[in-house]
Structure 1
Amino acid sequence: MGKTRYTKPSLTFQQQRQQLIDRGMTVEDPNKALHILESISYYRISGYWYPFLADKQKHVFKPGAQFETAFKLYCFDRELRSLIISELEKIEVAVRAKIIYVLSQKFGGFWFQDLSLFKDPQKFQTQLSVKLKEEYDRSDEEFIRAFGQKYSDPLPPSWMIMEIISFGTLSKLFSQLKPSRQKRDIAHYFGLADGVFENWLHSIVYLRNICAHHSRLWNRTLSIKPQIPQSPRKLWLKNVNVRSDRTYYVLCMIKYLLKTVNPKSRFAFKLKSLFLKFPNVDTYAMGFTDNWEQESLWKFEDIGPS
């Protein structure tokens, strides 16, 4: 079947609301619904009412579908993303610190300029090295400006440059490193084999982008699937029937890494509090398993309030 041109017209907010009602959605508070459509947008919130459609081609809703229910799912997802961003920040900082320290201790502050450390020196030179320079030139950090004014080096040492590059660039840099004792030591510090750690960094960058761009995480199938560790060095999941392309799995990843980064983290408590705040959220749509709270990974935190 050939493609056709998109011809749907732009609708006013009032027309958008009426279209939902005509398709069978209950709108209890028309004024509130109008405000939500205006401040969030029809298309962004539509991902949260998609499961309520009886006919996904004609966009006809199931009986009982409510606009307020979809909005509550949106609110839950927004708070979940905020929680994840907060925890990922701690993990990112710790990863930067470990990479900087281990490699600088062995190879000096300018180890990233030693092409012999990388799998594909030419690719590193034409892509990542260029990216490092771009991010260095773009930085407005005071310590970066001070370095440029005082020193003739094209780039500052790793304990400066690695603090200002994006986490995506840092992840690619780590993946480009040749297998070595240092690469293994960095990964082992976080309780993982270097190949799995490399994959998890890539997954974290993807997850962070989803959250930073306010994209839907609830009921999402992740296009970048994290690897399942075969021999984790710390407590991991006993239930092997967990899909690694769902939100629950990446939450488990975060919890696992926090064991190293922030052993007294309240992540499990915050997550469970979020579910109590939004009791109607379908955790199965996020890949959660039955009795997930009984997993050692989640139980080994005092979940009472601090």
Structure 2
Amino acid sequence: MGKTATTVDEQIDKLKGRNMTMDLGDVKAKEILLDIGYYRLGFYWNPFEIDEHHNLKNGTKFSDVVKLYYLDTDLKHILSRALNRIEINFKTQLIYYVSNYYDKNPTWFADKKIVSHQFVKGFPKIYTESFKKNNKPIKNHHRKHSNDIYAPAWKTLEYLTFGSVIKLYLSLHNQDLQKKIAEQYGIKSLGVFENYLTTILFIRNICAHSDLLFDSYTPLGIKSTPIIDIDRNKRHSLSSSIRIICYFLEKISVNRCKEITKNINDLFAQFNDNKAISEIIVNKIGYEL
């Protein structure tokens, strides 16, 4: 049987018993716990735990836990803007180059001669009645063209998830087209391009679903190349993922890349004098202050 629910007062007593310094006062702590939640906030005092009983190291402040939570939230917001720009740009490249190459086949994404059998077979699970109903241009297309199984690529792909679009790109039989798209981002190796896309998607999904970002660990090690030199000890770190994101963004918009980089640097600089948070930025995120 699982643990029973606890009141906010009980949660505060539990934190005090684990060596948490409630420096914001109990009233403010109650407000925060009812806003963010004890369970979610627990991910942010986890770095301060010293044993399996969740006891905290001496000097752990509740205010620092809250600051770490908002650091994580703000970083997700900053990266989300960059990731959205990359997602739209990548969709545009895929639609443009493949649609123009197969200009007599507007629904090339469902053609087994062009795309892998596995992708084509699974596409109806994406292109459901709900998909058609919930995306107005798709709905209007089928209202005007009732005999069409699918709307053209330039309509359909706009409403696919980033993960589905990447999967479609990787499912193309024509490697020359894949290379042409990769080269738009200054990358010649398809293996490296796939590695970087997978990294971007991993961070994008964390940001989109409000998951924990600051101690994210990419399952796939990020490849080091002459384009982006990745420290062997940081191949799975968030700081390296951020470098990949900024590299792609710079290929799309130099000004936006500068803006995002400044936003991230300014965010981290706020904690230069906070030893507890700055250690997490350096050791967990892998970012040099």
* CA distance in 1 between partners of 2:159 and 2:58 (Å): 52
Is the contact made by 2:222 and 2:236 (CA closer than 8 Å) also made in structure 1?
Answer: no
Q: How many residues align?
A: 277
Residue 46 of structure 1 aligns to a residue in which SS? helix
1:80 corresponding residue in structure 2: 75
2:193 corresponding residue in structure 1: 197
Moved more, 154-163 or 141-150: 141-150
Shift of 1:150: 1.1
The letter for the 1-side match of 2:205 is: N
1:37 corresponding residue in structure 2: 33
* CA distance in 1 between partners of 2:90 and 2:220 (Å): 20
The letter for the 1-side match of 2:255 is: K
Under a length normalisation based on structure 1, what TM-score does the superposition of the two structures give?
A: 0.84
The answer on 1:225 being equivalent to 2:220 is yes
Q: CA RMSD in A?
A: 2.0
Sequence identity (%): 27
Residue 222 of structure 2 aligns to a residue in which SS? coil
Residue 259 of structure 1 aligns to a residue in which SS? helix
The answer on 1:145 being equivalent to 2:143 is no
The CA deviation string for residues 236-275 of structure 1, in whole angstroms up to 9 with x for no partner, is 33x5335221110110011100111111121111111111
The answer on 1:46 being equivalent to 2:42 is yes
1:256 corresponding residue in structure 2: 247
Within a 5 Å distance, the mapping from 1:96-245 to structure 2 comes to: 96-108=91-103, 109-118=106-115, 120-121=116-117, 123-127=118-122, 129-134=123-128, 137-151=131-145, 152-192=147-187, 193-222=189-218, 224-232=219-227, 236-237=228-229, 240-245=231-236
User: Cα–Cα, structure 1 residues 167 and 263, in superposed 2: closer, same or farther, change >3 Å?
Assistant: same
* CA distance in 1 between partners of 2:170 and 2:47 (Å): 38
Unpaired segments of 5 or more residues in structure 1? 1-5, 292-306
User: Cα–Cα, structure 1 residues 226 and 178, in superposed 2: closer, same or farther, change >3 Å?
Assistant: farther
Unpaired segments of 5 or more residues in structure 2? none
The CA deviation string for residues 108-143 of structure 1, in whole angstroms up to 9 with x for no partner, is 22221221223x41x12321x223422773453332
* CA distance in 2 between partners of 1:190 and 1:242 (Å): 25
2:19 to 4, 7, 24: 24
1:295 corresponding residue in structure 2: none
* CA distance in 2 between partners of 1:290 and 1:143 (Å): 46
Is the contact made by 1:218 and 1:285 (CA closer than 8 Å) also made in structure 2?
Answer: no
Shift of 1:153: 1.2
* CA distance in 2 between partners of 1:289 and 1:276 (Å): 11
4+ aligned runs moved over 4 Å, structure 1: none
Shift of 1:103: 0.2
